[in-house]
Amino acid sequence: MKIDALHMREVNMPLAHPFETSFGVTTTRRILLIEIEAAGISAWGECVAGEHPYFSDEMVDTAWHITETELAPRLLNADVEKGSDCPALFEQVRGHRMAKAAIENAVWDLDAQLQSVPLAKLLGGTRDIIPCGVSIGIQPTLVKQLEKVETEVSAGYQRIKLKCKPGWDEKVFEAVRARWPDILLSCDANSAYRLSDADRISTWDRFNLLMIEQPLWYDDFYFHAGLQKKLKTSICLDECIRNRRDAQAALELGSGRIINIKVGRVGGFTEAIAVHDVAQQHGVPVWCGGMLETGIGRAHNIALSSLPNFSLPGDVSASKRYWAEDIIEPEVTVSAKGEIVVPTASGRGFQVKRDRIDSITVRRHTCTPHH
Ligand SMILES: [Mg+2]
């Protein structure tokens, strides 16, 4: 397929509610969107890098630079047939996986539209519906935290995940468990703990958590293996899994028993599927994490979550939890049973609201092939 143009846009979208993790508070999302045009069709990708390099070493501005100077030229001057051609095309560029994923995922979307198949099917998806959980940010007070949990449990979400950090952990788990002894509950530390916390973390087995997500360093899975040996509760790995080799090494070491797959973190759908497959071969379930995506990234997460080993509820939830108005229609909705229906239309299955995107675009740039 010949790509006629790659459009880069930065949109600024205020979150409906501020989102706090162990590394800070987000109130507005700056997001790089990629649109590629080919054969009269328009396809989209979303770069999940944040405003600051706090979750990973990527950020919107590095992704913008690498896309413009390195990735877009490679795409536009190559002959790609499908999304899975992209990793080889981008291999010379080390890292920058979120930037790479935005483009690769747009190519998958394009391919699905050209073949008139749902993106989920093209990825190898087998589920018609996906189970949904929510990730609840750190709240200003315990009362507010319990109100948030109440809201999400009432909305039907199948798994509640609490963001935690030292000083905002045991008292919260205690209070939530006292009120909801039986819900599927987990926590996510985003690397806020150190080995000196291991004995204390091992006492969290009493909260019967489904998992403790990435408690130690963001780039570690060696010391996580030692911590996992002390725990009955499963460790879930997020930040430290960058590719299929990391997944294989971590599972062979026993660093965790669950993997959170974020398509941006691993560099695109091709690698996400490979990580999914490695986990499946080890009998380890995966689920799809969230990065405060707009509807475009959310649609891609829904498609990915339809793969067979996504057997735990993910963090893919309704548009309205994040945005007053999303940039797709219909917006993503979750049923009272905490499920999202996987679209059956061709491509990503949600229409892009171009007027809405135009109204929040703060910079744009178009890359075209050299002639
Ligand atoms: Mg996480």
CATH of the domain at 65: 3.30.390.10
Q: 191-208, pLDDT tens digit by residue?
A: 999 999 999 999 999 999
Q: Give the pairing type, strands 129-131 and 339-341.
A: antiparallel
What was the pLDDT predicted at 23?
82
Residues 219 and 297 in one domain: yes
State the DSSP code for 314. Answer: B
On whether residue 348 sits in a domain, the answer given is no
On whether residue 319 sits in a domain, the answer given is yes
CA–centroid distance, residue 214 to ligand 1 (Å): 7
CA–centroid distance, residue 189 to ligand 1 (Å): 7
CA–centroid distance, residue 237 to ligand 1 (Å): 8
Residue pair 20/137 in contact (Cβ under 8 Å)? The answer is: yes
Residues 193 and 172 in one domain: yes
What was the pLDDT predicted at 21?
86
Residues 12 and 160 in one domain: no
Best CA proximity match to 304, nearest among 352, 254, 270, 355: 270
On whether residue 347 sits in a domain, the answer given is no
Q: How far apart are CA 193 and CA 168, in angstroms?
A: 12
CA–centroid distance, residue 186 to ligand 1 (Å): 11
Q: How far apart are CA 201 and CA 177, in angstroms?
A: 16
Q: How far apart are CA 250 and CA 290, in angstroms?
A: 21
Query: Looking at the 3D structure of the chain, how many domains does it have?
Result: 2
Residues 146 and 81 in one domain: no
Q: How far apart are CA 284 and CA 305, in angstroms?
A: 15
Residues 137 and 271 in one domain: yes
On whether residue 200 sits in a domain, the answer given is yes
Residues 260 and 164 in one domain: yes
Residues 138 and 181 in one domain: yes
Residues 158 and 214 in one domain: yes
On whether residue 247 sits in a domain, the answer given is yes
CA–centroid distance, residue 75 to ligand 1 (Å): 31
CA–centroid distance, residue 56 to ligand 1 (Å): 11
Which entry of 100, 148, 163, 165 is annotated as an active-site residue? 163
On whether residue 179 sits in a domain, the answer given is yes
Task: Tell me phi and psi for residue 253, to 5 degrees.
Answer: -75, -20
Q: Give the pairing type, strands 24-38 and 41-47.
A: antiparallel
> Catalytic: 82?
no
Q: pLDDT under 70 in the chain at which residues? A: 371
CATH number for the domain that contains residue 164 = 3.20.20.120
Domain enclosing residue 104, as ranges: 5-116+354-367
> Catalytic: 144?
no
CA–centroid distance, residue 21 to ligand 1 (Å): 9
CA–centroid distance, residue 260 to ligand 1 (Å): 7
Residues 177 and 263 in one domain: yes
On whether residue 337 sits in a domain, the answer given is yes
Which entry of 100, 148, 165, 262 is annotated as an active-site residue? 262
CA–centroid distance, residue 263 to ligand 1 (Å): 13
**Structure-block tokens of residue 20:** 């706090």
Omega within 30 of 0 (cis) for the link into 330: yes
Residues 85 and 151 in one domain: no
Residues 74 and 190 in one domain: no
Residues 111 and 126 in one domain: no
Radius of gyration of the chain (CA): 20
Q: Give the pairing type, strands 24-38 and 5-21.
A: antiparallel
On whether residue 183 sits in a domain, the answer given is yes
